[in-house]
Structure 1
Amino acid sequence: MEFLLADRIERLPSQFFASLTKRVAEVQALGHDIINLGQGNPDLPTPPHVVEALRTAVQDPRTHKYSPFHGLPALKEAAADFYRRTYGVTLDPEREVAILVGGKTGLVEVAELYLEQGDIALVPDPGYPDYLSGIALAGGTAKSMPITAANGYLPDFEAVTASEWERAKVWYLNYPNNPTGAGATSAFFDDVIAQASRHNVMVVHDFAYAAIGYDGKQPPSFLQAAGAKDVGIEIYTLSKTYNMAGWRVAFAVGNADVIAHLNLLQDHYYVSIFPAVQEAAIAALGADQSAVATLVATYQKRRDAFLNAASVHGLQAPAPAGSFFCWLPVPAGLDSISFAESLLVNAHVAVAPGRGFGEHGEGYVRLGLLTTEHRLKEAAWRIAHFCHTQL
């Protein structure tokens, strides 16, 4: 018996990172020492006080029941307090905070909520590939907004025609940016709000790397800009700030109508997240953020170690402003996919080809700063040696 998939499932793009992981495993299985810089999975443990909060909560039988619909009120209050302390942004915990089963879930749900067949969603190119998943499920059309070195990796508004702006319903942004590591300014967010208001487009700012800014600079929140709540939301995941990638907990903040709609959809998909995980998230968002400061300092040291080693070995590697990624140009005459494959097979360094993040990612590879300083220095030497001797 044959069971045919629904058209919306057939429309889903291939999973870029799944194929990358499989290829790295194949080469690693041959016995090679692979320095894997190709993924975005944090390598450090969750802070001990967060783990302890989970352990304590798990032992409480009250957490073994269904969570309240829309999540624990205390977690929404913790998220609102975190935004007040960190960004000076005031939020109504009940109306302007939605608890999410991971940030990726929220990104997909927004598309399901607001896109109909033929509607346009604006996406950064290069950008996080999974923005396309929700758009495909909803039957919408993804319109690329090029972000390139020439414009500081900020989207080119002029790349969208007047008729496309009129059809656009959702606009995805992401700063600090994956994959380029670029940052955004408050002035840029002001321009985004003006453009979104002009065309009645909802902004979804993916703030996945919110905590990771370099050289003493804190990345700005979209919600710090005047009028941000009128045009959209921001999605904050605990995955990167607290090394809680596998815990699947995040929240959306901003426009009250969008928050209500996210809660409505999640009422049908889930009740909410396991209450013990929510209790741990409350502990993570609490007043003591020393673990986050230590984490950012660690990434700063890793970034600088890689960049310094790259420079010593004659490798061009621009410094990211945030995130835990470096965006490395490939040698002239090569495409990113063939370069990444050759680097894996011959130098035993895994990187993500830029083409996997969109058409305008071609010519670059993404490296994750997700190993020790020693290994990052070794990776810089291997890449430089490969480029100088085998190309």
Structure 2
Amino acid sequence: MSELAVAEAVGIKNIIGAHSNGCLLEGTALAIGLPLFPSYIPGSQLVWNSFSYSEILLLASLGVSDDSSTFSTRVTNVLFAFLSWYQQRVLCAAAEKVMIQKLGPQITPVWETMSNMTWVLSNSEPLLDFPKPTLNKIVEIGGIGVSEAQPLNREWSDVLDLRPATILISFGTVAPSVYMPDGMKGSIINVITSYPNVTFIWKYEQPDDPLFAADDRLSLFTTHGGSGSMLEAATYGKPLILVPLFGDQTRNAKLVIKYGFGILLEKALLMESNVLREAIHKIFDEKRYRNAALRMRRMLSQRVMNPKEKLVRTIQLAAEFGTIPEQLVAGRNLSFVVYYNIDLILLALLLLAISVFVISYFILYIYRYFMSDFKAKLQ
């Protein structure tokens, strides 16, 4: 929330929000008026660092859910939604405390500033996400960081020509393989040596980063499942083996599974060579993964507007028209009772109860009248 505090300090009111993960955090969603439906839509499902290690282990043990709406997934969705909202409220309170100390009590509350943002950029792609309701102000620019396809240099091109198939292994820049436990490294090496007809390219530390995914000779991409890697593979039609490490990566992996072009492996299972080996066999033997990846590539290539165009148009709108208050959702400031029409539901229940009481009383009155009349005739 520090960036919103800075904006308040320098007097910037025309703010465009941005989320680097593929889903808006629940606090942001509620602040701008985006409805949450944990009954069938997984949220951000991120565990922030203010929670204790034991709490993180507990949450991790639940797994990250999908849109199956089973009892366990709904419990997980609700739990993560609450924790994400709570975390953002804590961060807002901490930021506002410092702002009051530095700027005085007349500051605009952080939650209000967030609520009044006209545009929010999201690193998500509608064609590779759980179907969900959205708002005009949410601009999905997932894939904006995917580079244009460029021919590989001669050295790398020769490497990809060595064997009929090539597999790329990369776990991103935050957790490079150099820091991987030795047992996992040994397990991966065992898998590599068991495929003499496959070339493995393993990004071990911080090498140069040519766009292997755009080359048709790349057969498979094994990665941690970050948004960038997922969208890069989807853009160029590459099947995935995903080994999520943290953050939104498990959610991303569940999306890849939903769209059928990848396999999810728990990171602890990398200690066992046969698990990764079986996943590679499955990708190579079953054509459905390759076909699903190519289908996703064709879908993304047919987008009406690419992410860069969306970003440019959004910035132009913000620069010319400012905050556009007409686009602010009225429901963002409603109370819980009004938002969910609980008062109307209670009124309906009250009227129903009164109607049942009146009808019951009337029936009982009629019954007693006729019974008394019947008894009088008998006498």
Q: Which has the higher contact order (CA 8 A, sep 6+)?
A: 1
- Structure having the higher helix fraction is 2
Larger radius of gyration: 2
TM-score (norm 2): 0.26
- Structure having the higher strand fraction is 1
